[in-house]
Structure 1
Amino acid sequence: MPGPEQIRDSQRQAWAGLAAGWAKWDSVIMDQLGPVGAAIMDGLGVVDGRRHLDIASGTGEPGLSIARRWPAGHVVLTDLVPEMLDVAARRARAQGIANIDTTVCGADELPFDGDSFDSVSVRFGYMFFPDLARATAEFARVLKPGGRLCSSVWIEPERNPWTATAMRAIATEVVLPTPAPDAPGMFRCAAPGRVSALYADVGLSDIAEWDVPVHLVTESPDQYWQVVSEHVAPVVAALRQVDQPARERIRARAVADVRAFKANGVVRVPGLARCIVGTAP
């Protein structure tokens, strides 16, 4: 497996290429992932006037929602990819959110002093960190005593048809390799207790995890394909391996399959995430 720095370099390049897709489909993505952000905020129990750190912020959530809800507090958004944080900063300006800063950094080497933050959030970033243990240790290091860490991950693919439908269509044209068990990837942390064990290893207590249902809602099967093919990392990566005729066959298969989720004039494809919370000693 490549080393951590090689993984980070690859991720920077890949996610920089996804920034435009995330910006284009911002409203659809925010509606889909909103329940997870709300669950993270509930798990953290953030209080106004405190300092919060959002890891792997991407285009800004749930950090921007936390900053908007608690205007007397301060939120630092971090991400490995500056292009993603540029989108987050534009979203903050558009929403009139001023109590944020952005910092480009990796999760396993945070440029902050210990005991700097009252809470830390990690929405759908854990699965991609090169070194899960080191990243978790960093989150615990920057938390103040009694501070809370809350993260979310995707559980197994079969319970996330919003992405599995597209990947099954891709598999009709592309041989998709089985990822190494500990290689960064979307479903790397799907197993129950995986992240909880990392929390326990760094001394966090009162650890709990719970599942949060989500739905990707689009106006049509064609729009479903546009959304997932332009912002979902494994879909975008797989499509780069095929020529245009194969890509069109994949699109047609995914569009046909996702029609099963159409009702009342919209396509509503389910998914399931897991949230994990713990408290610093």
Structure 2
Amino acid sequence: MPNPDEIRDAQRATWAGLSAGWEKWDQVIMDQLGPVGAALIECLDLNEEQQHLDIASGTGEPGLSIARLLPTGRVVLTDLVAEMLDIAARRASAQGIATIETTVCSADDLPFDDATFDSVSVRFGYMFFPDMAGATAEFVRVLKPGGRLCSSVWVKPEENPWTAIAMQAIATEAVIAPPDNDGPNMFRCAAPGCVSALYRGAGLRDIAEWDVHVELVTESPEQYWDMISEHVSLAVAALQRVDEPARERIRADAIAKVGAFKKDGKVRVPGVARCIVGTTQDAIVEVSTRVL
């Protein structure tokens, strides 16, 4: 079994290779994940001067949306992959957002002082951390007393046909190893209470979780396949192991199946994410007494 450093090295290489696909399909992806970003923002209790940390920022969301709400605040975007943060920086520049910083780092080894941030967001990063408990402890360490941590993960594959359709088609031609329940994978945190338990273990309070529905919208079944096959890590890796005739058969199968989701001239494939929020303990005020 690879150690955490080996896992991170592999993740850097994989996501660096996927960065072009993420940038190409950025608008489609952002539209799909928009409801989750909005849910995270709503629970963060933002104010204009807030100091915010976004973990596993990828191409920038929800960090860029948060920055637009903090005109006199500070937003730090972090990711393991420099190529992803380069895209986020370009997006920020194009949108005229000047209050962000980007830092390449691992989630379980943050280069920030204790009690630096008022809030932390982690959109779809938890499932891929080699050490989820260690990462959670880091998030709590850099949060100020009373600060909020809000994250999101995917629920089980059956409730996310937007990815299941493609993977089922790929499985007709390629052997796909079952995911390691204890290792990084897209649905590692699907079970209710999984991330909440990590929060409790790190000492967070007022923990709540709820589901958020999303919808992947594409112009056609063909566009659905192009988009999935160019930015979903599992699909990209599996397709690299089959020859061209097999890829064409997979493509045809996925396109045929996703056609069942055509509505109003577009393909609309549903999905479900889970959001989790928790708060750090308030500062303990020590009261000394003196006998006169």
| Residue in structure 2 matched with residue 178 of structure 1 by the alignment | 178
| Residue in structure 1 matched with residue 289 of structure 2 by the alignment | none
Q: Which amino acid aligns with 2:271?
A: G
| Residue in structure 2 matched with residue 33 of structure 1 by the alignment | 33
| Residue in structure 1 matched with residue 91 of structure 2 by the alignment | 91
Q: Distance in 2 between matches of 1:45 and 1:235?
A: 36
- Cα deviation digits, residues 143-185 of structure 1 (max 9, x gap): 0000000000000000000000000000001111112211100
Q: Distance in 1 between matches of 2:75 and 2:155?
A: 28
| Residue in structure 2 matched with residue 114 of structure 1 by the alignment | 114
Instruction: Measure how far apart 1:29 and its partner are.
Output: 0.5
| Residue in structure 1 matched with residue 290 of structure 2 by the alignment | none
Q: Which amino acid aligns with 1:92?
A: A
Summarize the alignment of residues 122-201 of structure 1 with structure 2, pairs less than 5 Å apart.
122-201=122-201
Q: Tell whether 2:210 aligns with 1:210.
A: yes
Instruction: Measure how far apart 1:260 and its partner are.
Output: 0.3
Q: Distance in 1 between matches of 2:257 and 2:5?
A: 38
- Cα deviation digits, residues 89-135 of structure 1 (max 9, x gap): 00000000000000000000000001000000000000000001000
Instruction: Measure how far apart 1:241 and its partner are.
Output: 1.0
Q: Which amino acid aligns with 1:201?
A: G
Q: Which amino acid aligns with 1:28?
A: V
Question: Equivalent pairs: percent with the same residue?
Answer: 73
- Cα deviation digits, residues 210-237 of structure 1 (max 9, x gap): 0000000000000000110011111111
Q: Distance in 2 between matches of 1:215 and 1:245?
A: 30
| Residue in structure 2 matched with residue 246 of structure 1 by the alignment | 246
Q: Distance in 1 between matches of 2:217 and 2:262?
A: 9
| Residue in structure 1 matched with residue 286 of structure 2 by the alignment | none
Q: Distance in 2 between matches of 1:240 and 1:81?
A: 21
- Cα deviation digits, residues 65-110 of structure 1 (max 9, x gap): 0001221111000000000000000000000000000000000000
Q: Which entry has the higher C-alpha Rg, 1 or 2?
A: 2
Q: Distance in 1 between matches of 2:252 and 2:75?
A: 43
Q: Distance in 2 between matches of 1:257 and 1:45?
A: 41
Q: Distance in 1 between matches of 2:25 and 2:123?
A: 18
Q: Distance in 2 between matches of 1:236 and 1:151?
A: 25
Farther off after superposition, 125-134 or 230-239:
230-239
Q: Tell whether 2:269 aligns with 1:269.
A: yes
Q: Which amino acid aligns with 1:128?
A: F
Q: Which amino acid aligns with 2:162?
A: W
Match of 2:226, SS state, is helix
Instruction: Measure how far apart 1:46 and its partner are.
Output: 1.4
Instruction: Measure how far apart 1:45 and its partner are.
Output: 1.2
Farther off after superposition, 240-249 or 192-201:
240-249
Match of 1:46, SS state, is coil
Q: Distance in 2 between matches of 1:128 and 1:78?
A: 14
| Residue in structure 2 matched with residue 19 of structure 1 by the alignment | 19
Instruction: Measure how far apart 1:56 and its partner are.
Output: 0.2
Q: Tell whether 2:60 aligns with 1:57.
A: no
Match of 1:102, SS state, is strand
| Residue in structure 1 matched with residue 227 of structure 2 by the alignment | 227
Instruction: Measure how far apart 1:209 and its partner are.
Output: 0.2
TM-score by length of 2: 0.96
| Residue in structure 2 matched with residue 105 of structure 1 by the alignment | 105
Instruction: Measure how far apart 1:47 and its partner are.
Output: 1.3
| Residue in structure 1 matched with residue 7 of structure 2 by the alignment | 7
Match of 1:97, SS state, is coil
Q: Distance in 1 between matches of 2:205 and 2:36?
A: 22
Match of 2:98, SS state, is coil
- Cα deviation digits, residues 17-59 of structure 1 (max 9, x gap): 1100010011100100000000000111111101000000000
Match of 1:174, SS state, is coil
Count how many residue pairs are aligned between Structure 1 and Structure 2: 281
